[in-house]
């Protein structure tokens, strides 16, 4: 997944589970796989982001969980996708286009994830689909961290 693939993939994760994308970014930054230094890479940041991702996965199954398409939630997913896309764009690709790829991935992940999940997370089938989405987001996030290109030290 060189060039823009990791950028789009991270955006896709952000659309499905925004905090999983943040956790993936901190793990990638710790391994020198992000450009720039604005992504925190310390052990505390990784622990906090990973805990937030797990909490989001649990909270997503609650009856009071908001729809991911409401403007504040959708906007946050787009911002995480764009920032993550910029940070994970390969060395030989343009970071601005990486941000656009991350943004496109976030739109896709938000809308496709909602369509696959269905409207009701309060039922057993809805929660089961949510668990499948959790596994897909976590698996894709891990694959992105592993496949992201190492960046040159700045």
Neighbour count for residue 96 (Cβ, 10 Å): 12
Q: What is the pLDDT averaged over residues 133-146?
A: 95
DSSP character at residue 61:
T
Phi, psi of 73 (to 5 degrees): -65, -45
Above 60 in pLDDT, residue 154? no
**8 Å CB contact between 90 and 6:** yes
| More confident of the two residues 122 and 110 | 110
Residue 37, helix vs strand vs coil: coil
Above 90 in pLDDT, residue 87? yes
**What pLDDT was estimated at residue 1?**
45
Residue 2, helix vs strand vs coil: coil
Q: What is the pLDDT averaged over residues 83-104?
A: 93
**8 Å CB contact between 110 and 74:** yes
How far are the Cα atoms of 5, 27, 47, 140, 150 from residue 2, in angstroms, in the given order?
A: 6, 18, 27, 15, 10
**What pLDDT was estimated at residue 119?**
74
**What pLDDT was estimated at residue 152?**
65
pTM of the model: 0.92
Which tens digits make up the pLDDT trace of 50-86?
Answer: 999 999 999 988 878 888 899 999 999 999 999 999 9
């Amino acid at each position: 997944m060189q060039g823009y693939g990791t950028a789009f993939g991270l955006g896709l994760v952000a659309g499905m589970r925004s905090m999983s994308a943040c956790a993936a970014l901190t793990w990638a930054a710790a391994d020198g796989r992000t450009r720039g230094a604005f992504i925190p890479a310390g052990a505390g940041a990784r622990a906090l982001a990973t805990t937030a991702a797990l909490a989001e996965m649990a909270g997503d199954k609650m009856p009071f969980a908001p729809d991911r398409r409401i403007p504040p939630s959708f906007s946050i997913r787009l911002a995480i996708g764009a920032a993550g896309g910029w940070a994970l764009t390969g060395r030989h690709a343009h970071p601005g286009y990486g941000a656009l790829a991350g943004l496109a991935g976030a739109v896709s992940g938000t809308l496709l994830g909602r369509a696959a999940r269905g409207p009701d997370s309060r039922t057993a089938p809805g929660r089961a689909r949510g668990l499948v989405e959790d596994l897909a987001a976590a698996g894709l996030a891990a694959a992105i961290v592993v496949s992201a290109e190492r960046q040159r030290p700045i």
